[in-house]
A and B are shown apart, each in its own frame.
Chain A
Amino acid sequence: MLSFVLIFIASLFFTGIVVRTKSLASGRKGPGIMQPMKDIWRSLRKGAVYSNTSSDIFQIAPSIYFASILAAMMVVPLGSQKGLVSFSCDFVFFAYVLALGKFFSIIAALDTGSSFEGMGASREALFSMLAEPAFFILMGSLGLLTGNTSFHDIFMNLHIGSYLSYALVTIACFVLIMICMIENSRMPIDDPKTHLELTMIHEVMILDNSGFDLGLILQATNLKFAMYGALIANLFIGNWPLYVSIPVFFGIQFLLAIVAGIIESFMARFRMGNNAQFILALSSLALLMLFGVLMS
């Protein structure tokens, strides 16, 4: 329960901190930290407009997408505190409930019949598909290392291990940050700020969404970011008491947002054709973890 609430709180500030970091890095003052949330709140109070050519799929997809994120959040623990639900192999549930949400957002994009959105959908499908092995090899290696199969048990037992576990956590941290950037369609894979439909991935899929639906999708993205932040935080927290783990949780979320902002400020986006290579490279990094575990 605790992790669910904390992720929600962290999500409220996440995009604001990313945007502020980018503004400061480019020498501007930038909007207030809460501005992205105000925009979402404004969207949520509006009605949505639907095209005549789209079907029911398009109308229910944003809600399913949002629900899938909430469902995935339920299994994320916080140190010694279990998530709302915790069962063996819950990380498989985590990955596929997210995939379910993504599936609906992809078919909703295809449902609009726009040539842009079809392109975005195919890109999103490809890149998420390529990111999947990295996530499973990573979680599988950690499971093998600790002998457990649920998020909570894996993270709890990670810290009783040897020096090897520190090395593995470092790689896991990097891979998770990158998966987080891919899943949230941020740089260097996708540019959330661009106005050019032809180069977008995620943004182009939601071009036709408006009002309440758009608000849901944007808030879902914030939640997703904070959720991956929580996973990364879990790599460090272990069984610390709450008065330590909660500040550490927020500290790591804050750092993740700043890292995202800095990456987006000081480098160019990858060429679309190189994205696949880059994402596959994450899988090979995850494989390195697996070999490390097997050797120990």
Chain B
Amino acid sequence: MDFISIKNNQRIKFAEIPVLAYADFFNVVTNQLMEKPEAHCVSYFGIPAENNVQLLCCIADDASASINVLSSVVSKTDTLQSITAKYMSFHLFEREIHENFGINFDGHPWLKPVRYPYNAADKSQTMVNYPFYQIDSEELHEVGVGPIHAGIIEPGHFRFICNGEQILHLEIQLGYQHRGLETLMIEKKKLLQRATLAENITGDTTVGHSVAFANAWESLCGFTADKQLQMERAFAIENERIAIHTGDLSGICTDIAYQLGNSVFGRLRTPVINYFQRWAGNRFAKGLIRPGKTNFPFTNDLAAQWKEMISAYKPHFVEMAEQTFDLPSVLSRIERTGIVSPAVAHQIGMVGMAARASNIVRDIRASHPFGHYANIDYKPVLEPVGDVYCRARIRYDEILRSIDMMNDILSTMPYDHKPATTLDKAEPNSFVVSLVEGWRGEICHCAITGPDGDLTHYKVKDPSFHNWLGLALAVRNNEISDFPICNKSFDLSYSGHDL
């Protein structure tokens, strides 16, 4: 056995994961990716194993709805053959392993740390002397933006190398938001603390990440959510998608100075996000998703409120979106701007909405369905080109798709609430992968329990982790004044990347 094939949220014994020699591990991983073009790495990380490091790689095979997991135990002083040299999509995973354990990868284009935590392997490398790609030219100039930006956004540094107005290269340096989240998930022992941490992985994907955590923990405890709970969670994920997508369309209009779109989409986002306030007492749905239970049972009354809200929302939204995507001045800004070709998107392993805008079928709701999504046959929305227009347009189409799905959920919801289950202790020595399609894309949580049934390792991967490189490549050869609109069209998370 080279690997073990599991389903999304399927619990296995940790010992069942095959341990290969690194040379075999390398071959199996690269063969998997070579044989199946739709296979992609959802998580690749190391965990300390006595004095060595155990590398775990989870490759999602979309065709068979399975996740292939394999591992290898290597020494910290080893120099390993880099998978990045063959598959670009591994570049950040290998940099992260290098940062955590000091393992070197031979053939990696540039092995520098992703973040600069206090417990990094090599403390001599600091944020202050971050090695940027540099140019030595009289004609080119560098523009540095950030880490502190105008407006209320998170910190991150963007270093452009430009030829006049044209961007030749962009390097994005993140890590300022590092909170040691994965360590905190282990250190905090109470389930409520952990659920709260999961909610705050990124502020704009509260539902997505908390569902991923709830699924992982419930699976570890052998608890299966009942139909009602599954439906409520799917409903919350889709409502979050509608709210954030609408807000992003407003942001895209702001960045091209289209005031009408900015104010109308901005106004439309408010009732959708505020619906969570009525449901769970928090606009960002904090507190709504809890493992094993819900503190805010969905009622007939809430369903009626949502229907009323969305029937006021939809006609205005459709009218505004049709007008926006039909206005010549808007189209001239967003068409053919910031293109990520399907080939490049595949090469760097882009996920989620941004990948689908580049014509890549990659949607966890369809390929690795969980909860309620397993009962429906979801067809992902695709756009052909991968420019800003496609990334804006796909939001419009996904919102309409989500509204339909939520209407279906409401029409079949049983409204029978089971009593809460206390999930204190998980199955010992177990492993689970939990995949969720948040509004931005594929969220992956991997959890490992120790002999006492408590978490010993928790690995979080936000879709931003894959997609930041997509942004850096999208802006090449574009005008530097178009960077903000490209950035907004991806709308990636800093805190989700930095953890």
Contacts and interface: CB of A to CB of B under 8 A. Distances in A.
Do A and B pair up? The answer is yes
Interface of A: 22, 25-28, 115-116, 118-119, 122-123, 187-188, 191, 193-199, 264-274
Most buried by A among B254, B257, B263, B333: B257
B333 A271 contact: yes
Nearest to B167: A198
A267 B258 contact: yes
B143 A115 contact: yes
B480 A198 contact: yes
Given A196-B484, A199-B255, A268 B263 contact: no
A199 to B, nearest CB: 4
B267 A27 contact: yes
Interface of B: 141-145, 150-151, 164-165, 253-260, 262-264, 267, 327, 329-330, 332-333, 337, 479-484
Given A123-B165, A194-B255, 4 more contacts: A25-B259, A268-B257, A269-B258, A274-B332
B132 to A, nearest CB: 14
Contacts of A193: 257, 259
B263 A26 contact: yes
A195 B143 CA distance: 17
A25 B257 contact: no
Contact of B333 (A22, A198, A269): A269
B145 A198 contact: yes
23 contacts: A22-B259, A25-B260, A27-B267, A28-B263, A115-B143, A119-B165, A191-B257, A194-B254, A199-B482, A199-B484, A266-B259, A266-B260, A267-B327, A267-B330, A268-B258, A268-B327, A268-B333, A269-B258, A271-B333, A271-B479, A272-B481, A272-B482, A274-B332
Nearest to A265: B259
Contacts of B257: 187, 191, 193-194, 264, 268-269
A221 to B, nearest CB: 17
Contacts of A197: 145, 150
Main secondary structure of the interface of B (DSSP, over half): helix
A272 B144 CA distance: 20
A198 B142 CA distance: 13
Contacts of B330: 267-268
A195 B150 contact: yes
A123 B164 CA distance: 10
What are the 5 A-B residue pairs with the smallest beta carbon separation, nearest first? A26-B263, A191-B257, A269-B257, A268-B258, A196-B484
Contacts of A273: 165, 479
Contacts of B145: 197-198
Contacts of A194: 254-255, 257
A272 B333 CA distance: 9
A264 B333 CA distance: 15
Contacts of A265: 259-260
B258 A119 contact: no
Contact of A270 (B144, B332, B484): B332
B112 to A, nearest CB: 23
A269 B330 CA distance: 8
B150 A116 contact: no
Given A198-B145, A268-B327, A26 B332 contact: no
Contacts of A28: 263
Contacts of B267: 27
B259 A196 contact: no
A268 B261 CA distance: 9
A266 B261 CA distance: 9
A258 B12 CA distance: 68
B8 to A, nearest CB: 39
Nearest to B151: A195
Given A115-B141, A268-B256, A270-B329, A198 B483 contact: yes
Contacts of A266: 259-260
B175 to A, nearest CB: 22
B484 A198 contact: yes
A195 B259 CA distance: 14
A264 B329 contact: no
B333 A115 contact: no
Given A195-B151, A198-B484, A267 B329 contact: yes
A199 B481 contact: yes
A191 B481 CA distance: 12
A105 to B, nearest CB: 20
Nearest to B144: A115
Nearest to A201: B481
A27 B329 CA distance: 21
Contacts of B262: 26
Contacts of B332: 268, 270-271, 274
A154 to B, nearest CB: 34
B329 A188 contact: yes
Nearest to A122: B164
A272 B483 CA distance: 12
B156 to A, nearest CB: 14
A16 B69 CA distance: 63
A74 to B, nearest CB: 34
A172 B165 CA distance: 32
A269 B481 CA distance: 11
Contact of B260 (A26, A115, A118, A270): A26
A22 to B, nearest CB: 6
B405 to A, nearest CB: 30
A272 B165 contact: yes
Nearest to A26: B263
Nearest to B488: A196
Contacts of B264: 26-27
B311 to A, nearest CB: 20
B290 to A, nearest CB: 37
Contacts of B143: 115-116, 119, 198
Contacts of B479: 271-273
Contacts of A115: 141-144
B327 to A, nearest CB: 7
Contact of B256 (A26, A264, A269, A274): A269
Most buried by B among A123, A187, A198, A264: A198
